[in-house]
Amino acid sequence: MNRYLILLLWLVGCSTTEPHADFNSDLYSGVPVASLASGEPPKNESEAITRGDRALSNQQFDLALYEYLRSLSFPDAEYKEHTFYTVGQIHLARENYVLAEKSFQASVGEDPNHIGSLQALGTLYTKRGERQQGQQYYLNALNADQQRLGRDVKTRLSPQSLSTYLVDHQSPTEAYAGLGILYDLEQQHAFAQRLFDKALKINPRDVKALIGLGYSYYMSGELNKAVYFTQAALKQSPNQEQAINNLALIAIAQDQPQQALSIFRRHMSEEKALNNVGYFLILNGKPDEAIPYLQRAIDTKPSYYELANKNLVRALSLIRKNGDTSRAVITTPK
């Protein structure tokens, strides 16, 4: 047999035994692809996406990624921006933030107005500490949503222009809430609160927006409103740690440390609850009041609660620094 014919047959054989030859692995992370490539390959993009959807509903995440990414290989693929977004969501759920970012960026590359991907990138960058970039992606998500709703955005987002923004149940709740958090960090609490209100207009039960609005009111000193919205968040998610902490923090600000202790006791061990109250009292500039709670935490479980010892040392150090030890009496709270 001609050696060139042998080479050709060998190459053809390789192509037929590599069912994932058209598979782009750059956005894949999971079990070896060879273990997933069984049976007939999908005939078109739609079939590959359907396979991915089925695998995703069965929580077969590696297979879902494989099928979704295979759908991208078809030259006439029409839903690439949505597929990249779904791939990004899978990576996000797995806390694979590098591949999540790449996937969302690929989605925006296909459609610069993909609201979900813009919003997701805003959250990724904000959590990474890149606030300016996160803010810009959130704003882009809002602008894309306004275009979807038929409104031409010509002015920058401001407390005045926000009232003209249209929303419906498909609007990006997380983008509005995320911007609220960012403006709170800039001490623009009134503007932040209006953004949280907008998020809650989209979804009145959104836990992130409820927590954010409650904390914003806490920072602006409107403690009754802070309690109301934080409790509303806990009604939706009773064990939400951030909401629990915020409610206790508000109680401390209201000079009700025993109420804060009661809140913590419902969700954690006695020594941790006592330590948390002491820690929050320190944060509120009351190290002298923190000492009894921290001492009680140590007495409750000295072998475990090293953190309470550290906080106690911190409280005593702050009192000495302020030059007033007259109230630094170690007592046990009731």
Residue 307 confidence (pLDDT)? 85
Give a yes or no: residue 173 inside a domain: no
- In angstroms, rounded to a whole number, what is the distance separating the alpha carbons of residues 252 and 277? 8
Residue 128 per-residue DSSP state:
T
Q: Among all chains, which residue has been given the structure tokens 């997933």?
A: 36
The whole domain housing 276 covers 249-334
Residue 24 confidence (pLDDT)? 72
For residue range 131-184, list pLDDT tens digits in order.
999 999 999 999 999 999 999 887 789 999 999 999 999 999 999 999 999 999
Q: Is the pLDDT of residue 222 over 90?
A: yes
Nearest Cα to 74, choosing from 55, 102, 50, 46?
46
Give a yes or no: residue 290 inside a domain: yes
| Mean pLDDT, residues 218-237 taken together | 98
Q: Is the pLDDT of residue 326 over 70?
A: no
Q: Is the pLDDT of residue 82 over 90?
A: yes
Provide the CB-side half-sphere exposure for 153 (13 A, CA).
Answer: 19
Which pLDDT band, with edges at 50, 70 and 90, does 11 fall under? Answer: very low
Residue 333 confidence (pLDDT)? 43
Give a yes or no: residue 213 inside a domain: no
For residue range 39-76, list pLDDT tens digits in order.
889 999 999 999 999 999 999 999 999 999 999 999 99
- Counting the structural domains of the chain, the total is 1
Give a yes or no: residue 2 inside a domain: no
Nearest Cα to 87, choosing from 74, 73, 104, 75?
104
Q: Is the pLDDT of residue 325 over 50?
A: no
Residue 324 confidence (pLDDT)? 53
Domain of residue 301, CATH code: 1.25.40
Give a yes or no: residue 88 inside a domain: no
Nearest Cα to 64, choosing from 79, 74, 54?
54
